[in-house]
Amino acid sequence: MRADLALVGFGHVGRRFARLLAENRTRLIDELDLDCSIVGIATARHHSAYGLAGLDALAAARLVESGESIQALHDPAAGPMPKNGFDLIDRLGASDAPLRVLVENTVLNITGGQPAVDHVRRALDAGCHVVTANKGPAAFAYHELQEMAGARRASFLFESAVMDGIPVFGLVRETMPLAVVRGFRGVLNSTTNHILTALEDGEEYAHALARMQADGIAEADPSLDVDGWDAAAKAAVLANVLLGERVTPHDVRRRGIGPDAAAGARAARRRGRRLRLLASAARGEVPVVEPVELPEDDLLAGLRGTANALVLETDLLGKVAICQLDGSLTQTAYGLLGDLVTIRRRAALPEARPRRSP
Amino acid sequence: MRADLALVGFGHVGRRFARLLAENRTRLIDELDLDCSIVGIATARHHSAYGLAGLDALAAARLVESGESIQALHDPAAGPMPKNGFDLIDRLGASDAPLRVLVENTVLNITGGQPAVDHVRRALDAGCHVVTANKGPAAFAYHELQEMAGARRASFLFESAVMDGIPVFGLVRETMPLAVVRGFRGVLNSTTNHILTALEDGEEYAHALARMQADGIAEADPSLDVDGWDAAAKAAVLANVLLGERVTPHDVRRRGIGPDAAAGARAARRRGRRLRLLASAARGEVPVVEPVELPEDDLLAGLRGTANALVLETDLLGKVAICQLDGSLTQTAYGLLGDLVTIRRRAALPEARPRRSP
């Protein structure tokens, strides 16, 4: 089955996705009957390109990495170069491929999730499917977007948004029928966990942070991480999807970490405990992100470095945890690929949508 | 869609399954269009019963728990009482329900997996589906049974066999398309983990074991657990299914624990480490079950009491762990229910079998 893909946002994640897709092209066709073609790419600073016959996305990645524009890849026979992401999405909506998928990988805007939320709206409105590693859409508008998708028999999927492609949502959706998730606890932000474990090992805060930045783990502006916004956005997504809450990252009770965490992390360790930035929520309660001292035998206390984990509290299955012991861009890109496979599998069902969302 | 179920083996797991099925009957019908009827039960010491209109399985459970025979529940209009499990499976094979499912819950026979392996063979041969919490069939004959199932468009599922219903196989099958599992490490036996954590807390071996037996965690004959056979059977199932190996529990290099583990567990703890009964394997290597001293920051070291965990080493997703933080009979029964739902979902697909097994 043919799938036309439009990539809006072509940063590290989008480019790694394009490469992973190329690496697995044959297997996707042979094993899953999914023949993907990247027909459009819209970037923030390197222009856009569109071509019904499919673009050379690897060439596009190389151009962006050399600081060049991708407009040379645009096919003039397909009309003018798309002006922006919305314009590209409209072109995708006009495609006649059996599957049309927006792959949204713009960066998280913590103020209100835009323009990603509107990108997703525009695609779903045209009956296109959406996969995204951006937390914004599900953190700020999950229920609205999910209902739009449902009404149009389209899928809105975001496996990569919370644990870099480790299948959190797939686990619940595909493997836990009938079970109700009552709450969760998790360590979901790699940068702060990396810093906290460095602090408990005796490193200074500024030094630990600078080292993460040099290693490319923390951003130049680390405030989204250390102020707890990244974890709050993930907590909002999880609360919206798994607990049926209607919250945004701004509803999460949030406290991050700063230089003063060093004393706390070391004091905790002296007591045989561990300081971790914990995200937690339960049905009907306000989600919380805050540094918490955990006993040593708590699964989450044992997570070191960039490891992440999520403990789900369920009715029928008790406490189930899923952990990512090493994270990388490949996993994030893989999550997008897994979502594409879910869309393909759903297309094989007589009823195009599962009863359970997302 | 109607499903006729035959329960062969009606011990703790079988009875909890019957109750869980009754508790979720309405939701199974409403949410999943799955209308299950238990048409037959074969027990080891309380006779058998069969009735095309469906048996009162809750009454059967009460009879068995009172030490009474279930033969009063048999419907004479359906012919003579089934002589044994095989006889019941033959009756199921003659049913005209759209789904016919053997629910095999006899106890593990570590010598060769019988009669469970033959029960599964007989059911698949008649085109029935099979779900089982028994490790034997997949530990001793996975590839043969899976091929039989495939040839007949039937499913052979055993989610409850390894981690009490925590979705290990579902996780890989449903949520990790294209990814290759290269190996695994796990703490998979609750009794020995409970004993080892008690030992490191200072309890004596005999005392810890007696306490587990009194609590119903360890069997009266604990040798399957402490000698490592239970973990070896689970390692064999995982190696057969996830790594494509062809092994039985007898091929696993196996060392259990005994009273001498106390000194090892305490010495490890003094060094800030933990002694755990580790099951591990990699493609092309002999699976191993043995006590291993783990560093404190190993996820598996932090598992206390009856907690279990499995770390999968994959190509595209790195190291992914799934953990069961509290186990109970309900989870084991839930795993069987989840397998039934998988059978129902597959029945909705135009091609009855997925490309990826099981």
Residues 13-42 of B with CB under 8 A from A: 20, 24, 27-28, 31-32
Distance from CA of A308 to the nearest CA of B (A): 10
Task: Give per-residue pLDDT as tens, A116-142.
Answer: 999 999 999 999 999 999 999 999 999
The pLDDT value recorded for residue A13 is 95
Q: Do B170 and A170 touch (CB under 8 A)?
A: no
Contact A209, A218 (CB under 8 A): yes
**Cα separation, A252 vs B100, whole angstroms:** 48
When pLDDT is averaged across residues A25-37 and rounded to a whole number, the result is 96
Distance from CA of B83 to the nearest CA of A (A): 34
The pLDDT value recorded for residue A354 is 45
Retrieve residue A157's tokens.
Answer: 């999927």
Q: Which residues of chain B have pLDDT under 70?
A: 350-358
Cβ neighbours around A327 below 10 Å, total: 21
Residues 55-74 of A with CB under 8 A from B: none
Retrieve residue A22's tokens.
Answer: 């190329």
Distance from CA of B308 to the nearest CA of A (A): 10
Where residue A353 falls among pLDDT bands split at 50, 70, 90?
very low
Task: Give per-residue pLDDT as tens, A143-196.
Answer: 999 999 999 999 999 999 999 999 999 999 999 999 999 999 999 999 999 999
The pLDDT value recorded for residue B292 is 97
Task: Give per-residue pLDDT as tens, B84-134.
Answer: 999 999 999 999 999 999 999 999 999 999 999 999 999 999 999 999 999
The pLDDT value recorded for residue B133 is 97
Give me the interface pTM, i.e. the ipTM.
0.94
Bridge-based pairing state of the strands A99-104 and A129-132:
parallel
A44 near B CB under 8 A: no
The pLDDT value recorded for residue B111 is 95
Average pLDDT, chain A: 94
Catalytic status, residue A234: yes
The pLDDT value recorded for residue B39 is 98
Where residue A350 falls among pLDDT bands split at 50, 70, 90?
low
The one-letter amino acid code at B251 reads: D
Residues 310-339 of B with CB under 8 A from A: 311, 316-328, 330-331, 334, 337-338
The pLDDT value recorded for residue A349 is 75
CA A9 vs CA A42, B210, B333: distances in Å: 6, 61, 45
Helix (H, G, I), strand (E, B) or coil at A46: coil
Rounded percentage of chain A residues whose pLDDT exceeds 70: 97
Residues in chain A within 8 Å Cβ distance of B166: 317, 320
The pLDDT value recorded for residue B350 is 66
CA B113 vs CA A57, B108, B321: distances in Å: 52, 6, 28
A349 near B CB under 8 A: yes
pTM value? Answer: 0.95
Contact A239, A245 (CB under 8 A): yes
Place of tokens 């179920």: B5
When pLDDT is averaged across residues A271-291 and rounded to a whole number, the result is 97
Task: Give per-residue pLDDT as tens, A250-264.
Answer: 999 999 999 999 999
B199 near A CB under 8 A: no
Residue A281 has pLDDT above 60, yes or no: yes
**Cα separation, B74 vs B70, whole angstroms:** 7
